[in-house]
Amino acid sequence: MKNLKYLLGILFLASVSTSCQNFLDTKPEDSLSPEYYYSTEKQMDAALAGVYDVLGDDNLYGNKIFTTLGAPSDLSYYRRNNISTGTQVLNFDASDSDIRGMWRTLYTGINRANMVLENIDKPQLTDAKRAQVKGEALFLRGYYHFLLVSNWGDVPLVLTSKVDLDKTNIARTPMKDVYAQILKDMEEAEPLVKGIREIGFGGRVSKSAVRGILARVNLYMAGEPLKDVSRYPEVVKWANAVKNDATAAHKLNPSYSDIFIRYASDKYDINESIWEVEFWGNRIGNAYQEAGRVGNTNGVQCGDLTEGYAYGFIGVTPKLYNLYEAADTRRDWAVAPFSYKGQTSEKVDWKPADIYQRMAGKFRREYEAIEKQKNFTPENFPLLRYADVLLMLAEAQNAIAFDPSPTGVANTALNAVRQRAGASLYAGANAITSQADFLKAIQDERARELCFEGLRINDLKRWGLYLFAIRQAASYIKANAPATFKYAALAGDNASERHLLYPVPVREMALNPLLTQNKNW
């Protein structure tokens, strides 16, 4: 999107071209040694751009996190009946390219962040600028480690840069120690980065982003497998730091659909969208544009190029559709109520009984503001929304102490999200009467609100529910789906204990003899 040019478009892609990207990836060229390369503010900005650039990689939020890696859950399935192997159906091994791609990309981001941090004092910068760059690099290093530890468990904790990523001989660090460093990095970053109103858009790390992700990190630590319940007060602390920041003044967008229309149409809403992955352009005439596949692989299947070509890879399970009340405005946005007729832009509404045919509908290419390309889009992807902050606050507050009062902190936060959607509130005859029931309400609300945003699988895992939930969804599908859609149960049928963590890529184990494999892989 347009504001990304401050970081990627001008500095990273134009001024330093691909030689900078190669420098940040592996061994630097002599002409771009650290002593020379980090000598100006412009070069430091370009290096920081390289740290951000990893977020939009195809192996992360450019594609895989919301398609092949994100499909196998209780809410969705990979909508291709000819796929019997791969991460999307939980039939893969440690040599899988998606798994190695994610691992490799995250360590590339960590390496780039370490390079920035090691050279932050070299160029002449104002104190404010130096603090800003340092804070963003610290936070991103922590975030990439967070994605690693939440998917692999024990992982190498890398805090110094490497000239050659193929020669990183570091043993796996215990999960609790990795989390401790993540907290250290992010908490150190929080006072250094700018407020979101000063930045003006959600594509750059702000105080609100750091605080909100700190709430998420602590929430993961409180759940499986660490089960460190002492983290719940920290979740409340950081979620409230977002909620009560009068300068940031976050609030819910009154229209749920407008959130996602804005991601597609180059419009920002920092009231709700606190942090998002920036994409810009569509690679037409410029292969170096930071285009992704949001809306292309996870949008409603469409063969019309002017409407926006989409593959419709993400099918919706009956569980998700049935979680919504009929009046809930989120249902017919998250779960597309239509398909496209043939290769045209004509929409045909599904009949009420057509549940299994429906696709994820959050990211719709029809709203893109530039010329459409078949396989790449400029649509941004949400990393943190204010609705998520409210739901994290509600979950953690309930875990600390159940409060049946409809005006209590937890109920107020949960009902705010439901009220925006036009759903019935938990009050009066509909009030929640136990701590366990409140947690169940939160689990269902996160499904309704945050589906297809790359969070569901890890939510289920931290609740200790992943295998139960995906198997239950599969059993329902096998018992009730039309014959042509029974393949949607494949991931649930394949799910086993080993899928609670990804395998360490076999190629990485060959390069690093100190690595050990996860259980059952």
Q: What share of the chain is helix, strand, coil (3-state, %, to 5)?
A: 50, 5, 45
Using the predicted structure, report yes or no on whether residue 177 has a pLDDT greater than 50. yes
Report pLDDT for 280.
78
Instruction: Please give the residue that has the higher pLDDT: either 281 or 518.
Output: 518
Q: Which residue has the tokens 């990523």?
A: 165
Alpha-carbon gap, residue 202 to 471, rounded angstroms: 37
Query: What per-residue confidence (pLDDT) applies to 285?
Result: 57
User: At residue 20, does pLDDT exceed 50?
Assistant: no
Instruction: Look at residue 281 in the predicted model and tell me its pLDDT.
Output: 65
> DSSP labels for 102-157?
HHHHHHHHHHHHHHHHHHTTSS---HHHHHHHHHHHHHHHHHHHHHHHHHHSSB--
Confidence category of residue 166, pLDDT binned at 50, 70, 90: confident
The mean pLDDT of 309-337, rounded to a whole number, is 98
Query: pLDDT grade, residue 510 (50/70/90)?
Result: very high
Of 157-171, 274-288, 456-470, least confident by mean pLDDT is 274-288
Instruction: Check residue 286 and give its pLDDT.
Output: 59
448 located within any domain: no
Residue 484's pLDDT is 96
User: What are the structure tokens assigned to 79, written together?
Assistant: 């909508």
| pLDDT (0 to 100) of residue 13 | 37
- pLDDT higher than threshold 70 for residue 488: yes
CB 86 within 8 A of CB 129: no
Joined together, the tokens standing for residue 412 give 């107020």
Contact between 443 and 459 under an 8 Å Cβ cutoff? The reply is yes
pTM for this entry:
0.93
Distance CA 424, CA 410 (A): 16
Q: Examine residue 99 and state whether it is found in any structural domain, yes or no.
A: no
Confidence of residue 283 (pLDDT cuts 50, 70, 90): low
Does the pLDDT at position 502 exceed 50?
Answer: yes
pLDDT at site 168:
78
Can you give the pLDDT at residue 136?
A: 99
| Per-residue model confidence (pLDDT) at position 85 | 98
- 332 pLDDT more than 80: yes
The Cα–Cα gap between 36 and 298 comes to 43
Distance CA 344, CA 159 (A): 52
Q: Is 373 within a domain?
A: yes
Share of the chain above pLDDT 70, in %: 91
Which residues are within 8 A (CB) of 127 and not within 5 positions of it... i.e. 6 or more apart?
A: none
- Dig out the tokens for 88 from the structure: 């999307």
Per-residue model confidence (pLDDT) at position 15: 34
Q: Number of folded domains in the chain?
A: 1
Contact 235, 396 (CB under 8 A): yes
Q: How many Å apart are CA 450 and CA 387, to the nearest integer?
A: 9
Residue 33 has what pLDDT? 59
pLDDT band at 4 (very low <50, low <70, confident <90, very high): very low
- Establish if 2 belongs to a structural domain: no
Mean pLDDT of 256-284: 91
Classify residue 324: in a domain, yes or no: yes
Residue 338 included in any domain: yes
| pLDDT number for residue 266 | 87
Q: How does the average pLDDT of the chain come out, rounded? A: 92
Report the share of the chain in percent with pLDDT over 90: 88
pLDDT at residue 34 in the model = 65
d(CA 23, CA 36): 12
Pairing type for strands 338-340 and 273-277 reads unpaired
* pLDDT over 70 at 238, yes or no: yes
pLDDT, residue 290, reads 74
Q: How confident is the model at residue 289 (pLDDT cuts 50, 70, 90)?
A: low
Mean pLDDT, residues 369-394 taken together: 96
CA distance 50 to 63: 18
What does the pLDDT average to over 503-513?
A: 96
Find, among 335, 341, 371, 372, the residue nearest to 451 by Cα. Answer: 335
Structure token digits, residue 278 = 């920036």
327 or 1, which is more confident: 327
- Mean pLDDT, rounded, for 489-493: 98
In a domain, 321, yes or no: yes
* Confidence check: pLDDT of 112 > 60: yes
Is 134 within the bounds of a domain? no
Domain ranges, residue 341:
314-379
pLDDT digit string, tens, across residues 436-480: 999 999 999 999 999 999 999 999 999 999 999 999 999 999 999
Look at residues 392, 440, 452, 399 and name the one whose alpha carbon lies nearest to residue 416. Answer: 392
Confidence of residue 287 (pLDDT cuts 50, 70, 90): low
Residue 61 has pLDDT above 80, yes or no: yes
Is the pLDDT confidence value at 14 over 50? no
- One-letter amino acid identity for 453? E
User: What are the start-end ranges of the E strands in 154-288?
Assistant: 273-277
